[in-house]
Structure 1
């Protein structure tokens, strides 16, 4: 549970043409159901317009981060951006890019300077950012760049999907499936496993984390009968993690790794590619799974869905994943402060 004495959470705007404003407003309306205190870095006028469009009774108050907690019970705290947004749901516009980036920059600054206990990010659309001149490969990579600039050391972000019943981590992420066997390395698996184990202990409160490591090939390669990668890359990585004192098992057949009995035997599953990790996580908890970025010097969570331009402003978006992201960020922050 988030501590009432810890700084509030900083929630970024995301793309204002998407469902970020919708779910932020809805999350505040559920504040009495255990949603920890947060402030939104955004455009107050655009957010008020979205609330009227959705017929949501959400009072809005402009604040500084330090005043968010005093405001939260009566009004949604907004820390205004210098940039402005138009409330045009479903119509992404490169004119919004400066504000989207400003929101991220200021949230990270607030986290480093102690004004925010964690960063929670609403979804962005990469194409809109690229068209607007954004040069980073993606949201997470940009957060890592900001962290590296601030600390002077290179941050290695690791993506985790965390749900009530399962945590999964893809070792390779946004690359074509055909490239995975050539891109996957023993070093990547070891470094990912090391970060996951460390943060499960520090920020999730798990004393001795247990990692299950999925094989790349069907049946984890069957000792080389279905591909050599599991014996040449995955198994040596697992052995290296064990030598470091990390409780790890694998390579394990992915087709028997995610049923109920198997899930009770580990705290996180390391998967070799994107869909191997995300399909079971989203199948079990599509509306409740949270995207957690490990390996950063601050806490970052986000909902596991995208901008959903097609339903923005319609009132049909569900805030469950954002609420789960806010709750998890609050819990992680409380453990880090303990």
Structure 2
């Protein structure tokens, strides 16, 4: 399936700010089931882009707008060819729990086995697990347990935007029993890790299809969960829609939770309040492009009178704002 993504993020400031420094986790990954055909970033005001790979191997772009501006617009465009993942077994033998407890598996997946940020155990989470009989799933094989967990999260929470925020703790969605994809992913990750199953957060996009019963917002980015089982390696589960991740999912970045891989995050100098607008579209491409795989990012030169970038520590003394990206809205 060939899909095209357009993701526009715009910050509007009530008065000009003096400088913005941003990081972006928007480039789709390259993997056995996903081919990145093209990727392009456009910035307004223009700025020079730099990139690096973070600790999890994600592509991160960063830039500095060092002159006064009252608006910042980031437009990401991508074309991605996806393939259906290999069929998942119906079940695994009960010995998979022993394999999960091996020193090799635990050492290799240490970061995805322990609480972090929003994905952590709380008394309310334990009560939720007891209420829905999730503790007894440990008597089943791990694959069956994870499938049933995804189904339970899907059934226990209503999908509703505006109830939670990007920085809402896990207890917020557990209390409200409503939320969005980011919240459901954190709940599922925390429970998987409590069982000793490595689980990681996946940020990306979903080509929604109401015929399949998708309840995700088609105009937003998406999040789901991948779990590691020794016999199958990483498998994706989407508790928002009660499906396994497939060719309609486009993965951009993986992390321990949302805080590791927000689509954008940054700081700015200035006293002005800001408003954020986000628009996302994911659609089928009409035909496969003839050109070879390429990557293009804007490399517009800085204005001749552009200021030099100050030390990052100086920026931290100004107002800091983490992207409240409506990944979940």
TM-score w.r.t. structure 2 length?
A: 0.22
Higher RCO (CA-CA < 8 Å; seq separation 6+):
2
* Larger proportion of strand: 2
